[in-house]
Structure 1
Amino acid sequence: MRITRLRSFMARDDVRPRVIVAIDTDEGITGWGECYNHGPDRALPAILDYFFEQIKGEDPRRIEFLMLKLQQQTRFPGGAMHLAAFSAIDHCLWDISAKAVGLPVYRLIGGEVRDKVRVYLGVYTAPDPAEALDFMMARNAEYGLTAFKLSPYRIDFHAERWGEVVRTSADYFRRLREIAPAHFDFAFDAHAKIYEPWQAIQLGNALAPYDPLFFEEPVRPEHLPAWGEIKSRLTCPLATGESLYSRYEFLNLFNARGCDIAQPDICVVGGLLEMRKIAAIAEAHFVVIAPHNPMGPLATAVNLHFSAATPNFKILEYRLPLKAPYVKDPYLPEDGYLRLRPDRPGWGVEIDEDVLRQDGYIHWERKLLPKPDGAWGYP
């Protein structure tokens, strides 16, 4: 079997662009993968075409060999854009390999260690606890979801006194705990918007009495010793990893004792192969994995197979694929879990190429506002 062609498509999932990749073979098997959309998304097809020249004519089942070849062909360590391209290529190779033997991907990486994968859903549109709970209860009724992630910020933390930011965040979580079912889990994502570690510690500890599932990425990832300091002074689980790229960066994070929960992104770090290596290093440090996955339904399928076969997996981030028609049969939660499809080879989903042929590009970027003094500052 040989690789004959790479095709990339600009799709969309509601208001977010998605870069979907297909690799074709001379035996008629096509593998599918998804890039992380860091932006500029229009650059990714050109990057993918460049790397395709390194793997054209190769056997797609030699995944470790091909990914090593791609990594060695780049003179400097990979950054966001080309690792996003590597990730999609890796996904395609695993999909092809599993389809070639008629098995789901998780059977090729050691088999499932669990029968189903728990997921959590983001809630970012309801500032009032009662409104947020209404949203969550509706998703619980339809999909059985019992885990959710929210923003901790209830007021503009640039414009208001920091003590008020902390107080309002704690009051919000306290009220949510009072009115929500006792078995619901709540995580809080600070989106790396805090610059000073002491503020991250103060905010995390204000949330801690109400038992958060985790407190995610309060500061930027560049200075790992700061993460060790934050974790040592927090009284709730600290999660991070979506902005880290390789097993080497995660090893440095674990050596700094910088998190309780690691959140690598399978569309960022280079794909399933690299994700497995990161998980193994985390396991040796008694760290669990909660994959970062704000992506589309194809990326969710890839994450499901990783999660099913990973012993130290904890929970998977999930987006409802309500406006992503390029996947015909997405994985949907049942009782708060995604269930495996053992009778479906590869990733277990069917791609609608007719939808993908329609350019679905939509411009998206982070919504950041300057501070009251006019500076952008951090992040």
Structure 2
Amino acid sequence: MYITSLKTYMQRVDERPRLLVKIETSEGISGWGECYNHGPDLALPPLLDYLFHQIEGEDPRRVEYLILKLNQQCRFPPGALGLAAISAIDHALWDIAGKAAGLPVYMLLGGNVRDRVKVYCGVYTAPDPEYARDQTLQLHEDYGYTAFKISPYRRDLHKGRWGELVRETGDYFGRIREITPSEFEFAFDAHAKIFEPYQAIQLAAAIASHDPLFYEEPIRPEHIPAWSELKSKINVPLATGESLYSRFEFLALLNARGADIIQPDICVVGGMTEMRRIATLAEAHYVTVAPHNPMGPLATAVNIHFCAAQPNFKILEFKPHVHAPWAVDPYMPVDGHMELRPDRPGWGIEIDEACLQKDDYVHWERKITRKPDGSTAYP
């Protein structure tokens, strides 16, 4: 068996662009993968065309060899776009390997260590407590969710006194705790909007007494010593990692004791192959993995196989999609978990390629926050 072609399909999931990749082989077995769209979406297809020539004619089942080849042919370490492209290729190769063997991918990873995968729902905003109660109760009724992620910001954090926002956040979480079932878990995603670490420490203190599931990415990821200091001064589980790329960056974070939970993205770090290396490093540091997954149904399928086989997995991010017509039979939560599909080889999801022929691309840009004085801030 050898690789014959690579196709790209720029599509959307709900209102965000998503790029799907299909690799075809001489035996008629094909595999699918998904890129993370970091921003310059239209730069990815030509990059993938370039990378295809590095693997054309190769045996797709040699996943480790081919991913090493793609990384090592780069003179400099691949960055955001390069690793996103390699991630999709890696996914597609694993899918082919599973289909060729007649096995789910997780069986190629040593088999499943759990029978199902726990998920939480990203709400992402900070709705009024009563609306949050109704929304989470509905999600619980529909899918069995007991874990959710919301924002700690009830308003623009650059307007008004910071201490007032901290107080409001504490009161907000306290009210949510009062009116929602006690078994519900709530995480807070601060979206790296805080520049000064002491403010992140103050915000953590405001939510600590109400037992958050985790406190995600309050500050930027670049300066690892700041994460070490932050973790040493807060009393809530600290999570980060969606903006880190390689095992080397995660190793620096772990060695600095900078997180309780890491959140690598399997569509960012280089795919399943690199994701497993990162997770093993975390396991050796007594750190769990909660994959970043605001993606489409295909990326969710890839994540489920990773989570099924990874011992130190904690919980997977998943928000039900409204628009992804190319996913014929997406994984959906049952009782707050994703069920495995042991009778389906590869990723266990069917892609309607005919549906992908329709141009469904949507342009999206991250909005830049402006402070009251006109200067820019992290969004």
Same structural fold, with TM-score higher than 0.5 when normalized by the shorter chain: yes
**Alignment partner, residue 330 of structure 2:** 330
**Alignment partner, residue 138 of structure 1:** 138
3-state SS of paired residue (2:209) = helix
3-state SS of paired residue (1:20) = strand
**Alignment partner, residue 152 of structure 1:** 152
Whole-angstrom distance in 2 between the partners of 1:241 and 1:182: 28
Whole-angstrom distance in 1 between the partners of 2:52 and 2:176: 50
Contact 1:296 1:319 in 2 (8 A): no
**Alignment partner, residue 78 of structure 1:** 78
**Alignment partner, residue 306 of structure 1:** 306
Report the RMSD for the aligned CA atoms in angstroms: 0.8
- Deviations, residues 226-279 of structure 1 (Å, cap 9, x unaligned): 000000001000000000000000000001100000000000000000000001
Structure 1 stretches (4+) deviating beyond 6 angstroms?
none
**Alignment partner, residue 200 of structure 1:** 200
**Alignment partner, residue 216 of structure 1:** 216
Whole-angstrom distance in 2 between the partners of 1:62 and 1:28: 17
Whole-angstrom distance in 2 between the partners of 1:78 and 1:191: 24
1:50 partnered with 2:50: yes
Whole-angstrom distance in 1 between the partners of 2:367 and 2:132: 21
Contact 1:44 1:81 in 2 (8 A): yes
**Alignment partner, residue 114 of structure 1:** 114
Contact 2:125 2:151 in 1 (8 A): no
Whole-angstrom distance in 1 between the partners of 2:193 and 2:95: 37
3-state SS of paired residue (1:149) = strand
Q: What TM-score do the two structures reach when normalised by structure 2?
A: 0.99
One-letter amino acid of the structure 1 residue matched with residue 311 of structure 2:
P
Residues 256 and 285 (structure 1 numbering): CA distance in 2 closer, same or farther, change over 3 Å?
Answer: same
Note the 1:1-379 alignment, pairs <5 A. 1-125=1-125, 127-378=127-378
User: Structure 1: which 5+ runs fail to align?
Assistant: none
How many matched pairs? 379
Whole-angstrom distance in 1 between the partners of 2:182 and 2:67: 45
User: Structure 2: which 5+ runs fail to align?
Assistant: none
Whole-angstrom distance in 2 between the partners of 1:238 and 1:33: 30
Residues 270 and 183 (structure 1 numbering): CA distance in 2 closer, same or farther, change over 3 Å?
Answer: same
Q: What TM-score do the two structures reach when normalised by structure 1?
A: 0.99
Contact 2:126 2:152 in 1 (8 A): no
Whole-angstrom distance in 2 between the partners of 1:70 and 1:124: 35
Whole-angstrom distance in 2 between the partners of 1:373 and 1:140: 43
Contact 1:245 1:269 in 2 (8 A): yes
One-letter amino acid of the structure 1 residue matched with residue 243 of structure 2:
S
3-state SS of paired residue (1:188) = strand
Whole-angstrom distance in 1 between the partners of 2:147 and 2:23: 35
3-state SS of paired residue (1:242) = coil
Contact 1:239 1:260 in 2 (8 A): yes
**Aligned-residue offset at 1:216:** 0.1
Contact 1:155 1:168 in 2 (8 A): no
**Aligned-residue offset at 1:125:** 4.8
**Aligned-residue offset at 1:322:** 2.3
One-letter amino acid of the structure 2 residue matched with residue 295 of structure 1:
M
**Aligned-residue offset at 1:369:** 2.3
Contact 1:2 1:26 in 2 (8 A): yes
- Deviations, residues 39-77 of structure 1 (Å, cap 9, x unaligned): 111110011000000000000011111001000111111
3-state SS of paired residue (1:210) = coil
